[in-house]
Amino acid sequence: MNFIRKLTVRSCVYRNFSVSAANNANYSCKLLVVGGGSGGCTIAAKFARRLKKDSVIVLEPSSEHYYQPLFTLVGAGVKRVAQTRRSAQSVLPQNAKWVQDAAASVNARDNCVTTAQGHVIKYEYIVIAVGVENDYAKVPGLLESLQDERSGVSSIYAAEYCENTWRDIKNFKGGEAIFTYPDTLIKCPGAPQKIAYLAESYFTKANVRSKTSVTYNTCLPVIFGVKKYAEALLKVVERKKINVNYKTVLKEIHPDRREAVFFNTADKTKEMTMRYDLLHVTPPMKTPEFLSSNKDIVDAAGYLCVDKYTLQHTKFPNMYGIGDCTNTPNSKTAAAIAKQCYVLEQNLLSSMQSAEPSQKYDGYGACPLLTSYNTCILAEFVYDGVPHETMPYDQARESAIAYYMKRDLFPFLYWHFMLKGYYHGPEFVRNIVNPFAK
C-alpha cells in the first residue's frame, strides 16, 4: 500500500516537472470540486460566491449537464431528452474555473489530482462529486441490445437511450414486457418501477393491455425500502396486475432469441429464462474507476468513505463527498443532494476556519413514484427509512399534485435554485405547510 502511495505522490511531482515539455498545465486552488453534475455544480456555486474568482476549480469532462430525474418522463413520452439538457458552460458558476477534463487519480496525501490529459491540480480542500456510472459490461448482451434499434431493449438510465424507451412503449403491440432492477446500488431506486407503471398505463390507453403481461424483476426482497410507501405500492402493483419477482436479477440477454436470463439471489444456481417483446433494463452501476481503485479513500464497494452525518472524509479532513459516489446509506437522489449541499457547505466552511464540522445530514431523500400519467406517490424519508413528509396530506396516497410537482416544479427548482446553490430541500416549505410534521 505504501509503495503504491509513494508511486502516486511521485507521479504528481513528475507531472509538475514535465509541464513545459509535455504541454501539461499545473493549477492550484483553494477548493477543487471533482465532478460538475448535480452535487458538484451546486457546491461549486456556493463556494464560487464566497471565495475570490478562480479560487474554485471544477474538474468536469462533459460539455453537457442533464437533469436526470426527467429521464423517466422522457421514457414515458412526456418530455424530450433535449428538455433535460443544458450546456455545462451555462450551469457551472462563472466565478469558478472549469477545467474540462477527467480526474485520473487523486493523491489525498499530497493534495493533488492528476487528470486524464496529464494536468496536475493542487488543492487545499477537495469535494468529490463524480456520481455513479452504468456498468453495462456486467450483463452480457446488454450494450449491443441497447445499441440495436430493433432489439426492444432500452433504458431510461442513460441520456442516449431514454428516448428509445418511449419508442419501444409506443410501438408495443402486446406480448411480454419485462422491467428489471439490478443487484448493485443504483441511483433513484424508485425509477425502475416508475417506468413499469407508466408503461402499463400507456398499454391500457393504447388498448394493448389485455394481450400484455407486465413483469417487474427486482433483486430486492421488497417492492420499496420504506414500509409506508411499500404498502401503498403493493396496492398499485395489484391493481395494475403486474407480476413481481423478488430476488431476481438479470444475468444476460440473448438479443437474437429475445431471451433474458435471470438468477435468484438466494440461490444463484437457480436460473430462469424469459422471452420478451419489450425489455427495460436498469443497468448495474459503479463509481468511476479512478475512484473505486483508490483504496486510500474508498470502501470495499468502491464508494468514497465519508461520515454519514458530516460528509467529511473519514481519513482526510480536507476532503468531502456529496451525491451518488459516497457511501452514505441514503437513497441516491438529487433531492438528497439538495439537503447535503447545505450541510457540506457549513462543514467545509468550519474546516476552512480550522473548526470541527458540526452540521449533520439526516439522510433525507425523496422519490416521486409516478404511478400513472397523472398520479404520483411522493415518498420522502430520512435515515433508517423513517418517513419525513412535506405536504399536509398523507403522501403515500397517489396524487395529481405530486405528479405535477415532479413534472414541472422540481425541474424549475433544480435549474433556477439548486444548481445556483440556493435550494436546500423542502424544510422551509415543510415548516410552513406542515408545521407539526415530525
Ligand X SMILES: Cc1cc2nc3c(=O)[nH]c(=O)nc-3n(C[C@H](O)[C@H](O)[C@H](O)COP(=O)(O)OP(=O)(O)OC[C@H]3O[C@@H](n4cnc5c(N)ncnc54)[C@H](O)[C@@H]3O)c2cc1C
Residues binding ligand X (CB under 6 A):
34-40, 59-62, 68-69, 71-72, 102-103, 129-131, 156-157, 187-188, 191, 288, 290, 323-325, 332-335, 337, 366, 368
Given the complex with ligand X, which of 126 and 258 has the nearer CB atom?
126
Catalytic-labelled residue, pool 29, 341, 367, 376 = 367
188 is catalytic: yes
Pick between residue 39 and residue 357 the one whose CB is nearest to ligand X.
39
Q: Which residue, 62 or 264, has its beta carbon nearer to ligand X? A: 62
**Residue closer to ligand X (CB basis): 139 or 334:** 334
263 or 320, CB closer to ligand X?
Answer: 320
CB of 62 to ligand X, least distance (A): 4
3-state secondary structure of 180: strand
β 365-370/319-321 pair status? unpaired
- How many residues are recorded in the chain? 438
Q: Which is nearer to ligand X, 215 or 328 (CB)?
A: 328
Shortest distance, position 256 Cβ to ligand X, whole Å: 28
Characterise 429 by phi-psi region: left (phi > 0), alpha (psi -120 to 50), beta (else): alpha
When the beta carbons of 68 and 217 are compared against ligand X, the nearer one is 68
DSSP 82-114: GGGEEEHHHHS-TTSEEE-S-EEEEETTTTEEE
Q: What DSSP letter does each residue of 293-338 carry, written as one string?
A: T-TTTB-TTS-B-B-TTT-BBSS-TTEEE-GGGB--SS---HHHHH
**Grid coordinates standing for 49?**
460566491
Q: For cell 456510472, what's the residue?
A: 133
Residue with cell 413520452: 77
Residue number of the CB closest to ligand X reads: 37
CB of 264 vs ligand X, minimal distance in Å: 26
Q: Where are the alpha helices (DSSP H) in 126-273?
A: 142-147, 162-171, 191-205, 227-239
Q: Tell me the pairing of strands 120-128 and 85-87.
A: unpaired
Least Cβ distance, residue 59 to ligand X (angstroms)? 5
Least distance (Å) between residue 353 CB and ligand X: 26
Distance from the Cα of residue 437 to its chain's centroid:
28
Helix axes 162-171, 191-205, angle to 10 degrees: 30
Backbone angles phi, psi at 348, to 5 degrees: -70, -35
Cα gap 78→132, rounded to integer Å: 25
**Grid coordinates given for 61:** 469532462
Active-site residue among 29, 188, 341, 376? Answer: 188
Q: Tell the residue number behind the cell numbers 395529481, with chain if given.
A: 400
Phi, psi of 12 (to 5 degrees): -60, -45
Residue 41: CB minimum distance to ligand X, A:
8
Q: How far is the CB of 75 from ligand X (least distance, A)?
A: 8
Question: CB neighbours (10 Å) of residue 204?
Answer: 14
Q: Is 225 exposed, middle or buried (0-12, 13-18, 19+ CB in 10 A)?
A: middle
Catalytic residues: 188, 367
